[in-house]
Amino acid sequence: MARPMRFWGHLGAAAALAAGVPLTAPLAAAAEAPASIRGIDGTVAVVGGTVDVQAIEARINGQPVPIARDGSLTASLPDAADYRISLRGPAVFDADFAFAAAELGTKDGKRVLPQLEVVARAPGRVEFFFGGDVMMARRYEKPIWGERTLIHPATRAADMARLLAPMRRYFAGADLASVNLETVLAAEDLGDAPDKTVVFYTHRDAAQVLADAGIDYVTLGNNHVYDYVEPGLASTLAALDKAKLPWSGAGRNESEALKAARIEVGGQPYAMLGFVGWKGRVEPNQVAESAKGGATFGSDENIETAVTREVAAGRMPIVQYHGSSEYSDRPTDISERRMKLAIDKGAVLVVSHHPHVSHGLELYKGRLIAYSLGNFVFDQYFPETQATYALKVWMDGGTLFRAEILPIQLLDYRPVPATGAIRQAALHRIIDLSAERGTRIALSGGHGVINPQRQPAPPRECAATSISGVIAYRYALDPAAPCAAATGAMTGRDLILRGDFEAARYDDATDRSWASENGSVDFVAGGFGGGHALALRPDAAASSATVAPTTFFRNGNARRYTLVGRARSASAATLAAFVQLQPKGSGMTKAIESAPRQPIGTAALTGGAWTDFRFDVDLAPGDEELPLRPLLQVDGKPVRIDDIAFVAWDEPANGEPPAPGRSYSR
């Protein structure tokens, strides 16, 4: 049996010094050296109105930066690993952006920001913010694999607020901010749950935490609001009402469940409706009926009844629909039909969730459907559930003015702005899936943009890196930046998603997705090209150390894979690669500990310089259905790893659509 993997935990400054990897530049010294001053240039543009840009307050990493009359901004700031920009002003809606330093271009020694756009305020124009699935329990309170606890009983409310803090500036200024509250709220586990595979309850303090953070409404139309039947539903509604947090999508009976939350948003009369797409197989089922509570069942009849009632009352309905299949790429036929039915009957906007991963967006009859936002605050460790998005929508009454897709990553189980490779992964998936529906997404400030007034040109894909014949393509965040054009078909997709390590940390949130065996792992400065890297340091008595993703990847039925990246050691070393499959019928933890590791090659590291490596994997027939993960082992030497990807190569399928998020070729 293989020795169990050690799951990464934050080292802290002193421990990092003690465990520093002895390369050319000591890690601790690099981390503690005073930041140099560097110039940074950018441009601010206003869309949707005429505004004096000099009245806009710009801040970069908290420092005020003046905007010139032509919209340009220039500053000299301490060099940083990431840059967080905020734009505020009475005539514009709040705008926020984040970039890893490695994402930015340079000119004349200065960093160059992509053009930053803000939306002008206008009579009747309002801003909505939508986040996906939210719960704050389970692994937040009782972590697995020795991970750190994020919510403690003595500091519960503050800990919950900390989960929302990285994204708060993105939604606090919206006229209405909404999330899907996918959990019962209660003071304790109520115990009497139906015989479901998974049930959730979150401490009722979460209601006030959400309200205090700036969430204005929650939808309860989902498959977990009735997890503890009537007592759980009653406790949830009581907690929300006490926090004065509006809700809809559930009720104590069917009549109450079909009611909308009627909310004046910027003086405009909107109606918020929530629905779940299925009744559930257990008894009692999860939907409200004449004599029982539950979520609002999203049948054709109920959607038509509720939407047409709100239209007749002079309201503009916004529908949130909880349906389709978990971890899928596209909505089910019935979910898509019901969402379009809501538009047909008068809904001005439809937003969906439940798959825990993102789906595409569509302009249907001039109105927006977001088929799945994915997770917002959730404790799932599957990598594909951690690259999602939040959605900003500006409405001029019942007319869509603009939608902005904010790529996020769930880092340390909390939402933070996505930067680097994981931003690119989120964008590639959303852009691919939206393009299938004839909806083009432009890029602005690292965000996706839908403008119903015009069809933008597709964003440019640039050949960003080439390692041993494997080419990674990235969207150009700055349309004016030099770009090596993509050539050939994008035939592969990376399963690791953030192997550039530029987004491994955000304040005190840290990537949990790597595990070590016979060694320790940290994320450090001094990566290839000056960015960040993963540092693996063997234990003193160990002859070798291994690093691997913490869990198996759902492989998407691919048979061919390539593990590619760069490694650097202080002296000559051997890097060995393996692949491990999760056998059918085997639990994940047991398989990680005991499933065979198949060698797939070795690479010689010369010492002192970065060495490219590539290992190709061809699975045996039938194994393409099994989850799998790669492992790297070094023979007793500290090593840094950067730009690592585990690429699944797409092959023609029997009439099935291609997998989204393809951004590699060979």
Closest CA to 223 of 160, 180, 169, 174: 180
Q: What's the pLDDT at 34? A: 61
Cα(227)–Cα(198) distance, integer angstroms: 9
The Cβ of residue 282 has, within 10 Å, a number of other Cβ atoms equal to 13
Q: Does domain 495-665 have CATH number 3.30.310.80?
A: no
Q: What is the pLDDT of residues 188-208, one digit of tens each?
A: 988 888 889 899 999 999 999
Calculate helix-pair angle for 205-213, 156-171, nearest 10 degrees: 30
Q: Pick 128-459's CATH classification: 3.30.1300, 3.30.70, 3.60.21, 1.10.150.
A: 3.60.21
Kindly give the parts of the chain with pLDDT less than 50: 1-32
Q: What Å distances lie between residue 488 and 364, 424, 461, 485, 660, CA to CA?
A: 31, 19, 11, 10, 16
- What are the domain boundaries of the chain? 37-119, 128-459, 463-487, 495-665
User: Tokens 């409310």 label which residue?
Assistant: 157
Cα(232)–Cα(225) distance, integer angstroms: 8
DSSP summary character for residue 289: B
What is the domain class of 37-119 according to CATH? mainly beta
Q: What Å distances lie between residue 371 and 94, 173, 203, 287, 351, CA to CA?
A: 25, 25, 29, 21, 6
Same CATH fold, 495-665 and 37-119? no
413 touches 396 (CB < 8 A): no
Calculate helix-pair angle for 229-242, 205-213, nearest 10 degrees: 40
Q: What's the pLDDT at 11? A: 30
